[in-house]
A and B are shown apart, each in its own frame.
Chain A
Amino acid sequence: MIEVRELVKSFGDIHALGGVDFTVSEGEIFGLLGPNGAGKTTTISIIAGLLNADSGSVRVSGMDIRKDGRRVRHLLGVVPQDIALYEELSGRENLHFWGGLYGLSGKRLREEAGRVLDLVGLTDRADDPVREYSGGMKRRINLSAGLIHRPKVILLDEPTLGIDPQARINILDIIRDGVSEGMTAIYTTHYLEEAEKLCDRIAIIDRGKILAQGTLKDLVKLAGEGNLVTVSGAFSKEQVSPLLKGVAVEQLENGSLRMLVPGQAELSGALGRLFSAGISIGEVSIQEPSLEGVFIKLTGKDLRD
């Protein structure tokens, strides 16, 4: 459905994308997971036709966005990271405008607006000005404006940014329901749990490059068989590292240490060496292989950094 090939984009001296390459199949939710500044929004913007890539290509349903831009844009729905609504208009009026831009009119427009308002649970507030909505409500109307015309492909750029967990779950459910009706989605996020719960395939992106992509299972395998072990206590990385040769150790902001330990035997050995050396350990937590572990392994840092 969507083919992105060797996308390169620079803003002056800043190399935002250094050859991004991925494919999205029809009916799939494809996640772009990465920290702030990784190139997620730049990638989405190029696919949406808001930016021109310096080189590379994007094809949607076989159509090149550079040559058949308007036809491609007919197929797309965009949910931008920032709320892009007219605050002085009501939710319904916003939907009428955005739907109208995609060729909806009259009875069909009203019906589709009613449908998406119902989908996001804002029918009873539809006629209030958007400026009176809460942050979560604005996010939902922002999402519904991208869905009103039933796009073939929906591009979602961090649609749950800044909202509470319950609202986030609600939005993820809406997206999942939309996709189940035949939509294809590209979803960017820096929340690991969102990518894990929602996306069929995930690409990990950092500093303008895709480091790995595949299903969650495929990616977790990249992390190896190791567990992510977090140890807190009265010690420093310099004290512990010599005792844990062969283990990747990272010191967290709160002073804890995080290690990727290959297996149970190695874990026991590592802890034993620490105790033997008189290191005072307060707490130990063990996490099985996950996307976070993959990210740390690939980038050497936490996604939240």
Chain B
Amino acid sequence: MNAILLIVRNDMKRRLRSPVSVICMFLIPLGLTLLVGLVFGRHGKVELSHIKVLVADSDKGIAANFLKQGMKQGKLAELIDLVEVDSVAGRSLMDRGKASALIEIPKGFTVNILDRKPVVIGLVKNPQEAFLPLIVEEITETMAVMIDGAARIFEKPIGEARGMLTGGRWPEAAELAGLLSSAKPRIELVKGYLSDTLISITSETVSAPDAKPERTFNFLALIMPGSILIGLLFISEITMRDILREREAGTLARIIAGPVRSDHVIAGKMLSSFAITLVACALLIAIGRLGFGIAWGSPLKLIVHVVGSILMCVGLMAFLYGFIRSERVADAMLPVVIIILCVFGGAMFPYEVMSPAMQKAAVFSPAFWVIDGLKRIAIEKTGWGGIAPHLAIVYGLGAVTSVAGAAKLRGKLAGKE
């Protein structure tokens, strides 16, 4: 045990004296994250914008006003930015992609509704947008159903008040009283259907007591787990490479010539690599928190997941170095291995934007489980159950690769190279 700690202490001292290689590997993930940060701003937060909807109202009647006002009320007001235009201007703006959709309310819209005649609302959608125009279409359809429903229920009183509703003027108080009096029986009739429904919906947003309503999404929280994984792989690689360097420098032979067991030598090297990678990872996480505003979630879950991930990376590198005989081979082979792991794991491009085929392949990359685990902890704030498979895989793979790597390296040392 003393020999292991001696080797670890010696390696840490050597790294402090000559940290260039580790710093360079640390700068890779940091640089990637900084670049993304520059693109998306300091906190990487993406503002969820209003849906810009143009409305060309050729009717100006109460039904048209009802439709327009409905889109400016309540929750819809937070979502929709409604701009009134004339039809020609509206079409021009849509041609230039300046809005998500254009609603064209035809002349005679209100009259036709009151007369219970079919009427068509035009909806022009922006082809460059996939989702927002569909949302507008849904809202418009809902509003149309509501207006149609109301027209059916209050057909008689509406008929009596027709002059008021189509005159383009707001009714006087006495006229309104008469209208409501006429509508009262209708209201009584539908009261049974409109009130005391069996199904109700309550809405709740889970948040801290003093949390502000969030209309932003920290994009860096999606990117940085991948950057961290890149850092873990490269730093564990460069630190495990020390076995090769010491072999070529002759110091490894000198250690083996001493009264030290070869498995203690290997354990010391792997522990050094683990310690340095852990420090680097802690720094990256701290920079993510303090520099990019990423809320990493539960510290305990984060620590447990990170420790397992580093164990897996160090074990993997130990295993690979059991086969590599020179730095030249390491230079040629290991960056390729790391990049493949990173690409398939979702470090280069988020898993969410991968093709279905790639997403299926991703689960076979150990990198995926590291990155997805970090995202679940940071973004989804998942419980232990949510990361249980991830922990099982990183710790399991870590144990297997560490044992296999140590055995391979011990065999190399025992074979006395």
Contact = CB atoms under 8 A, between A and B. Distances in A.
Interface of A: 45, 48-52, 70-71, 73-74, 76, 78, 80, 82-86, 88-89, 93, 97-98, 100-103, 105, 129, 145
B72 to A, nearest CB: 70
Which applies to chain B's interface (DSSP): helix, strand, loop or mixed?
helix
A83 B250 contact: yes
Nearest to B258: A101
A84 B254 contact: yes
Nearest to B415: A52
Given A73-B258, A93-B13, 8 more contacts: A52-B416, A73-B257, A73-B259, A82-B250, A84-B253, A85-B251, A89-B14, A129-B17
Contacts of A145: 254
Contacts, number: 64
B257 to A, nearest CB: 4
A100 B260 CA distance: 11
Interface of B: 2-3, 6, 10, 13-14, 17-18, 249-251, 253-261, 415-416
B261 A70 contact: yes
B15 to A, nearest CB: 9
A51 B251 contact: no
16 contacts: A49-B416, A50-B416, A52-B415, A71-B259, A74-B259, A78-B254, A78-B257, A84-B251, A89-B10, A97-B6, A98-B254, A101-B3, A101-B259, A102-B259, A103-B2, A129-B17
Given A52-B416, A73-B257, A101-B259, A88 B251 contact: no
A10 to B, nearest CB: 14
Contacts of A50: 253, 256-257, 416
Contacts of B17: 88-89, 129
Nearest to B17: A88
B6 A84 contact: no
A102 to B, nearest CB: 6
A71 B261 CA distance: 11
A49 B256 contact: yes
A85 B252 CA distance: 10
A86 B259 contact: no
A102 B253 contact: no
A146 to B, nearest CB: 9
A89 B6 CA distance: 14
A102 B259 CA distance: 6
Nearest to A84: B250
A227 to B, nearest CB: 42
Contacts of B18: 88
Contacts of B415: 52
With a 10 A CB-CB cut-off, give which of B3, B249, B254, B256 has the most chain A CB atoms. B254
A50 B259 CA distance: 12
Contacts of A100: 2, 6
Nearest to A73: B259
Contacts of A88: 14, 17-18
Contacts of A105: 2
Contacts of B261: 70
Nearest to B255: A101
Contact of B13 (A45, A74, A89): A89
By Cβ-Cβ distance, the 4 closest A-B pairs, closest first, are A84-B250, A88-B17, A101-B258, A84-B254
A74 B3 CA distance: 14
B10 A97 contact: yes
